[in-house]
Amino acid sequence: RRYFDLDTFTKDKISVFISGTLLRDGYTEEAKKLQQIIDQKLEEATQMSKELFQPLPDVHWGKITTQSLYDVFLSSNEEVIAQQLTLHDWNIYRRIRPSELMGQAWNKNKHCASNVL
């Protein structure tokens, strides 16, 4: 399992182990290194969520009357359509975790890679 795959309870237990047991038993350097790695992973996750939750650009489709959706699509700005399709694809790809791509996990019944399939 990767760090991103762990639940909050397990992450908390790891932090308690590092700050308590390792330091108490004299593994100061190891505890410091592990804490740096965890802090780096948390920073990466924070940065990722900042990127994910940026406000989406406003789309002004104009006044839609009784036109069909096809006509509205054809009369729309190509750049706006490309942006919206890119945002849609990004929402799909951002859910994929690295562990879902390792060892062809999507082909194995015992592994769950729901974001890949």
d(CA 91, CA 52) in angstroms, rounded, equals: 8
User: What is the rounded average pLDDT of the residues 68-73?
Assistant: 74
8 Å CB contact between 4 and 97: yes
* Per-domain residue ranges of the chain: 1-54, 58-117
8 Å CB contact between 2 and 98: yes
Sequence letter at residue 84: Q
Q: What is the pLDDT of residue 116?
A: 64
d(CA 26, CA 23) in angstroms, rounded, equals: 5
Q: Which residue has the higher pLDDT, 115 or 38?
A: 38
Global pTM reads 0.46
- In the chain, % of residues over pLDDT 70: 66
| Residue 80 pLDDT greater than 70, yes or no | yes
Q: pLDDT tens-digit profile of 3-28? A: 767 788 888 898 899 999 998 999 99
